[in-house]
Structure 1
Amino acid sequence: MPPREHPCAILGCKAQHKSLHRLPANEQQRLKWLSFIFEDKVPENVPKLLYVCANHFSVDCLENAGQYNSGFASKLFLKTGSVPTIRDPVSLQATTSTKSNKVDVACQTEPFHTSLHSVGTQLSFRTLQAKRRSTSVQTTISSFELTVPSASSTAFMTSTPLKPSLKRPRLELEEEEEEEEEAEETLTESKIIAQDSDVTFDPAEECTSATEPTDLSIQECPVHNIAKFIVYETCLMELFSDCPVCQRRCDVKSQRLGTFLSVQQVCPHCEFVRKWNSQPIIGSTPAGNLHLSAAVYLSGASFFVVEKVFAAMKLHIFKYNSFRRHARLCIEPAIVHKWRNWQSEMLEQLSRRENVIVGGDMRADSPGHSAKYGSYTMMDLATNTVVDLQLVQSNEVGGSYHMEKEGLKRSLDLLDARGVRLECIITDRHPQIQKYLRDRNVTQFYDVWHIEKGISKKLDKICQIKGCEKLRKWLRSIKNHIYWTAASSTTGPERVAKWTSILNHVQDKHVHEDPNFPACLHPQRISRDKNKWLSAGKFPFFSI
């Protein structure tokens, strides 16, 4: 098989190739593609396997652009008859940037994307260095020397986050960052060593500037985007054991609230006082407690499982009542607010479109006709995005059997109120839904999955009849044929012709009388197993 030919080099495409699409078999479409690639100068010898990446197609030519950009699909699929139209490399770069961020598929909200900042810690770099005594200090250090930070790193004296240096030391580096930061790290380390060797350093002068306000860029970083670390208590208390002014022992008290820790350091000798908090305070709630509750809630995890993990690792965590209070007062209102804003924008976009195709279905809290709650979901099939959710309780409509109709009614009323013009709706074969949409004069189509499920159940029963065992070999092919017929057909007659062609295909007849589908599209092959073909008028063909 010859290697793939990438015409993107001819087109000047420098973007990353994605979702390569082969030239169509249709001769007319093939000529349009070649005319676009070679600018009406098609060479005589064109390779059979010629591929064009999805960057050269507009969004209208893609069937699942919304699903791909949302992270639900790994490949892009072209619509039938699509022709590449984009040549400009600048446009290609803009096209490839549409899927720059991935979305948590577990929620409809958009992820938070902000610029990255280097976040400094409360631990000074010089604390990790070898013990060195400054010649300007006349006192004797009884324990390990806790070097006082310089004017550029006064974060050691206060819990207020300060702007980090040009390159802070790191215990771990990602493989892709090591080469880029090696030269910069060497320069920064030389500056720090020169700073430590300064014999005129006076810690008393440095302490006077600890309480001065500083305008810092790190404060511009959102609190939820700041990196978090696991810190051991003994390592943390080493920073507060000695006074940074007189280098003597201090009295240290600590208070804990869930994952939050507050440390108060008091020196009985020089009356130096400092209070340090491990987390920012949002209102009256520590940020770490609130962020942990949000992470557990939004990821769909169980608080009790997370609590067991924390207990196994001896990590402090708040109680379940605090978690529910965070969800009730902060997380759930934020989710509802985000959803309503996003839904309003989505409905505004749908109201500007000519024809909208939606799909609707309900999911109940328990199977059968004993459900108490039902959630009806309405989705825009052009972009694969949810546009409405309706929660219905069974006692509102007189029983769980009527919940789906009520959910559909509410969703359609909302779309009508926002001026959305429906072309058709895709639902299941619920009898109430059929009658309601017929009375409302809305065009309805059935979900192909429900059609396939009904046919498959009947074929399974036929396969159990004596003499019909041969039909079981064709079950998978018939199921695939149903989905292919629904996906590849554009008109009703074509859909009927393709579906009924399976009766000829199972007889090893691949030319059909219907002009809407005159012949099978698969290549002609010689079958090695003659026994798999069915005969007309005999079982099991007669049962189909």
Structure 2
Amino acid sequence: MVMCVVNGCDSKSKVYFTVMFHRIPTKDNERKNQWLAALNIDLRTPVESIKKWRVCSEHFAPEDYLENMDRVTHTTVRRLKDTAIPTIFRAQTGRSGSSPTTSTPQKSRPAALPAEFKVPLPLQRTSPAKTVMGIRPSAALAPTWTQLDPHNIESAGMDISSTSAFDISMCSEPAADPADTSFAPTSPSTSTTGSTSSSSGPLGGWKERKWMVNESKLMELFQKCSTCGTLMSEANQTIHTFCSRITVSFTCNNGHTGHWESCPNTRQMADNNLISAAATLFTGATYTDIAEWAGLMNLQIPKKSTFYNIQACYLIPVIDAAYKKQEYMVKARLISQTLDGEGVQLCGDGRSDSPGHSCKYTTYSFMDDSSSQIVTFDLIQVSQATSSVAMEPMGFRKGLEKLLDEGLAIKVITTDRHPSIRKLMREEYTNIIHQFDPWHVAKGMKKKLVAASNRRNCKDLAPWVKSVSNHMWWSCCSSKGDATELHRRWTSILYHISGVHRWEDNGREYQCYHKELSPDQQQMKKWLSVDSPAYKALLEIVMDKRLLKDLQQMTLFKHTGQLEVFHNALLKYCPKRLHFEYAAMQARTMLAVMDHNENHSSSREQAKSAAGLPRHNVVFQKQSKQWIARPIYTKTTQEFRDGLMEGVFERRLDPTVKYKESASHVRIPRLPANIALQPKPSKEDVLRAYTSRFKGPSERL
């Protein structure tokens, strides 16, 4: 998720948030210094850090923008002028007597004050030369915004920090800090005042806390009249249920009436029905799993038809709108990068919904190599292609053509060695550098090595399989773009594996890059003899003509490792071997993209223990048959789901949206009614031709 770098600014890229984000100019050193001075950031900050920061449009005046026709959406959009500098900064209150806030942007956001401490005051623009107490010092070019009381102007500079962080801590429970061993969590038996916790949201909203209540305990509340205390019989109660909602109407013997509902309604639809359906889809669950879980507990949830009606009418359109906004922001950044003359480097890979050649869908995704964010994807159904094998190159072509039409200057594309994609790049996109992924190449080579080591007379090759695979990675990453050097380093494994660490080639002397081995190490190592069958099998694999030719397209050391991370996230939202309709499959893929992009806009940090040490898991790797250490990273976030939930209720409140009607603007290509090659016959004809080898002639239908 993109966040504004200005200290105290809470702008972030939410679903229904129309704020734009701009990069700090780094090409022009003078403009860069002007921006840094305006933002109160140290001018000596490394450029690598500055490139990761963004400034939102809230800090620019309206006259800082130009209106142009966008080439992507063909609509009028605002673009920042080349001479624009951030000049608008909201007031920030600090602790009394504290030093000014530092210029280094902080990763963590300051905690917001409770509602009772937030007093909305009008904003008045002051000149840059004025210094206002409690406001971060700004540069000479940047005017400030000061909160003023309309009744008492002198109170604008009053320091209210003495009642902020210290006083409110008396009435709120501190959050658990796993690194603090002295923290003792509240006992489960401890009762707390108030109906909501600090993380449950406002009372009555969709984030309001909810409990599972037994029917017998619920009906105990209606045994007596709440007005006069008279006992009520079941005959005077009318109970209606619809999915997760229950309503009770009652009349006591004294004529007092009442009506109770288990949840609020939004345009006559129970909020809990909407929330439970949205939570099922937005978390990647399936209705079948949730319904089976709820059925065992006899928990009332929306029925199957209600769930799919809500999904088609409200959930999928909201997902589509949120994805389009995020996709536009990612592409706008890449187009800006293109206009700056930098060019774009992408990696692409396909993922099928089931293994083998029987898949129905293939998702082909393109990822920006610099930010590890998904730029676009195309969902291909098998009926759109001639075969399941042709689905991946079809998705590749559609996605690449779409990006080129939108104005992206693509310099490099990294893929696997799919023959059809190789041919496309070689014949139709000659101006784009095509690189192969070392991970896919090493994976295929490793399979050949394992198969060769399983032969009867090649068992000595087995201990070297992992070393040869690692040597492939080392050769690619250390050749520095030189194809000749990559070829030489790769083939040098043949010398090392036979115990030769110094050799002569083309009149030059070379040696291995590892440390010199001692005589004992040299003697203990099981080197392969050049006359052995194991060495000859290795020689055949290493010197394979196709592999040596492909090395020329592996010089830049571009790999699709982050795309494999995205495919793991895709498994959560689109599990394999589960069937989804095209619209649902597309929406679930969009959810996976938004989840991935939120958590990979910057590299995830490794989790740390209470002692501050990096955390690892020790796992047994099935492939290598060894125990290895794997780093544990910080937990992912899914803040985009909150925006989706808000969007669902906004769409429900829209009177123009009719229930049980799908959105017309959702992008779904024209597809055949089904993947069958013949029209469906009648059921009677199928049953007449039905036979079973497990039944005798008399038992058949």
| TM-score, length of structure 2 as denominator length | 0.46
Q: Are the aligned partners of 1:358 and 1:424 in contact in 2 as well (CA < 8 Å)?
A: yes
> Cα–Cα, structure 1 residues 303 and 496, in superposed 2: closer, same or farther, change >3 Å?
same
**Secondary structure in structure 1 of the residue aligned to 2:521:** coil
**Secondary structure in structure 2 of the residue aligned to 1:384:** coil
Query: Bigger CA drift: 518-527 or 399-408?
Result: 518-527
> Cα–Cα, structure 1 residues 478 and 337, in superposed 2: closer, same or farther, change >3 Å?
same
Q: Are the aligned partners of 1:241 and 1:252 in contact in 2 as well (CA < 8 Å)?
A: no
Q: Are the aligned partners of 2:367 and 2:373 in contact in 1 as well (CA < 8 Å)?
A: yes
Does residue 1:520 correspond to 2:520, yes or no? no
Query: Bigger CA drift: 438-447 or 504-513?
Result: 504-513
Q: 2:444 corresponds to which residue?
A: 454
Q: Which one of 490, 512, 529 corresponds to residue 535 of structure 1?
A: 529
2: CA distance between counterparts of 1:473 and 1:249?
83
> Cα–Cα, structure 1 residues 341 and 115, in superposed 2: closer, same or farther, change >3 Å?
farther
Q: Which one of 349, 352, 361 corresponds to residue 336 of structure 2?
A: 352
Task: Spell out, residue by residue over 1:8-42, the C-alpha distance to the aligned partner (whole angstroms, 9 max, x if none).
Answer: xxxxxxxxxxxxxxxxxxxxxxxxxxxxxxxxxxx
Q: Are the aligned partners of 1:379 and 1:387 in contact in 2 as well (CA < 8 Å)?
A: yes
Q: Which AA in structure 1 matches 2:513?
A: C
> Cα–Cα, structure 1 residues 516 and 434, in superposed 2: closer, same or farther, change >3 Å?
farther
Q: Are the aligned partners of 2:499 and 2:522 in contact in 1 as well (CA < 8 Å)?
A: no
> Cα–Cα, structure 1 residues 57 and 541, in superposed 2: closer, same or farther, change >3 Å?
farther
**Secondary structure in structure 2 of the residue aligned to 1:224:** coil
Provide the identity percentage.
27
**Secondary structure in structure 1 of the residue aligned to 2:389:** helix
Query: Bigger CA drift: 367-376 or 519-528?
Result: 519-528
Does residue 1:399 correspond to 2:384, yes or no? no
Q: Which one of 463, 475, 484 corresponds to residue 474 of structure 2?
A: 484
**Secondary structure in structure 2 of the residue aligned to 1:223:** coil
**Secondary structure in structure 1 of the residue aligned to 2:370:** coil
Uncovered stretches (5+) of structure 1, i.e. residues with no partner? 1-55, 66-87, 101-112, 119-165, 190-217
**Secondary structure in structure 2 of the residue aligned to 1:444:** strand
Does residue 1:411 correspond to 2:396, yes or no? no
> Cα–Cα, structure 1 residues 265 and 358, in superposed 2: closer, same or farther, change >3 Å?
same
> Cα–Cα, structure 1 residues 278 and 174, in superposed 2: closer, same or farther, change >3 Å?
farther
**Secondary structure in structure 2 of the residue aligned to 1:449:** helix
Q: Which AA in structure 2 matches 1:314?
A: N
> Cα–Cα, structure 1 residues 332 and 187, in superposed 2: closer, same or farther, change >3 Å?
closer
Offset of residue 532 of structure 1: 0.9
Q: Are the aligned partners of 2:362 and 2:381 in contact in 1 as well (CA < 8 Å)?
A: yes
> Cα–Cα, structure 1 residues 243 and 368, in superposed 2: closer, same or farther, change >3 Å?
closer
Query: Greater helix percent: which structure?
Result: 1
Does residue 1:444 correspond to 2:444, yes or no? no
Offset of residue 499 of structure 1: 2.2
2: CA distance between counterparts of 1:58 and 1:508?
46
> Cα–Cα, structure 1 residues 174 and 483, in superposed 2: closer, same or farther, change >3 Å?
same
Q: Which AA in structure 2 matches 1:256?
A: T
2: CA distance between counterparts of 1:486 and 1:57?
32
**Secondary structure in structure 2 of the residue aligned to 1:387:** strand
Task: Spell out, residue by residue over 1:261-290, the C-alpha distance to the aligned partner (whole angstroms, 9 max, x if none).
Answer: 112233331x43332221121223211112
Offset of residue 220 of structure 1: 5.6
**Secondary structure in structure 1 of the residue aligned to 2:322:** helix
Offset of residue 406 of structure 1: 2.0
Does residue 1:320 correspond to 2:304, yes or no? yes
Alignment of 1:64-213 (within 5 A): 90=102, 94=106, 96-97=107-108
> Cα–Cα, structure 1 residues 467 and 310, in superposed 2: closer, same or farther, change >3 Å?
closer
Does residue 1:264 correspond to 2:254, yes or no? no
2: CA distance between counterparts of 1:516 and 1:408?
45
2: CA distance between counterparts of 1:512 and 1:412?
46
Q: Indicate the structure (1 or 2) with the bigger Cα radius of gyration.
A: 1
Q: 2:327 corresponds to which residue?
A: 343
> Cα–Cα, structure 1 residues 277 and 450, in superposed 2: closer, same or farther, change >3 Å?
same
Q: Which AA in structure 2 matches 1:456?
A: K
Offset of residue 378 of structure 1: 1.4
User: Structure 1: which 4+ aligned runs deviate by more than 6 Å?
Assistant: 56-59, 113-118, 172-182, 185-189, 512-517
Q: Which one of 233, 254, 271 corresponds to residue 215 of structure 2?
A: 233
Uncovered stretches (5+) of structure 2, i.e. residues with no partner? 1-43, 54-99, 117-167, 195-199, 540-701
Q: Are the aligned partners of 1:535 and 1:541 in contact in 2 as well (CA < 8 Å)?
A: yes
Q: Which AA in structure 1 matches 2:207?
A: N
Q: 1:295 corresponds to which residue?
A: 279
2: CA distance between counterparts of 1:265 and 1:516?
98
Task: Spell out, residue by residue over 1:450-490, the C-alpha distance to the aligned partner (whole angstroms, 9 max, x if none).
Answer: 21133223323432455432111100111222233334543
Q: Which AA in structure 2 matches 1:520?
A: Y
Q: Are the aligned partners of 2:202 and 2:208 in contact in 1 as well (CA < 8 Å)?
A: no
Alignment of 1:488-503 (within 5 A): 488-493=478-483, 494-503=485-494
> Cα–Cα, structure 1 residues 538 and 181, in superposed 2: closer, same or farther, change >3 Å?
closer
Task: Spell out, residue by residue over 1:504-531, the C-alpha distance to the aligned partner (whole angstroms, 9 max, x if none).
Answer: 3323444576899864245756527635
Q: Are the aligned partners of 1:511 and 1:520 in contact in 2 as well (CA < 8 Å)?
A: no
Alignment of 1:42-53 (within 5 A): none
Q: Which AA in structure 1 matches 2:225?
A: C
> Cα–Cα, structure 1 residues 293 and 489, in superposed 2: closer, same or farther, change >3 Å?
farther
Q: 2:415 corresponds to which residue?
A: 427
2: CA distance between counterparts of 1:341 and 1:115?
30
Q: Are the aligned partners of 2:496 and 2:512 in contact in 1 as well (CA < 8 Å)?
A: no
Q: 2:224 corresponds to which residue?
A: 242
Query: Bigger CA drift: 449-458 or 493-502?
Result: 493-502
Offset of residue 114 of structure 1: 10
> Cα–Cα, structure 1 residues 498 and 330, in superposed 2: closer, same or farther, change >3 Å?
same
Offset of residue 343 of structure 1: 0.8
Task: Spell out, residue by residue over 1:90-141, the C-alpha distance to the aligned partner (whole angstroms, 9 max, x if none).
Answer: 46661x439x9xxxxxxxxxxxx999999xxxxxxxxxxxxxxxxxxxxxxx
Quote the RMSD (CA, aligned, Å): 4.5
**Secondary structure in structure 1 of the residue aligned to 2:472:** helix
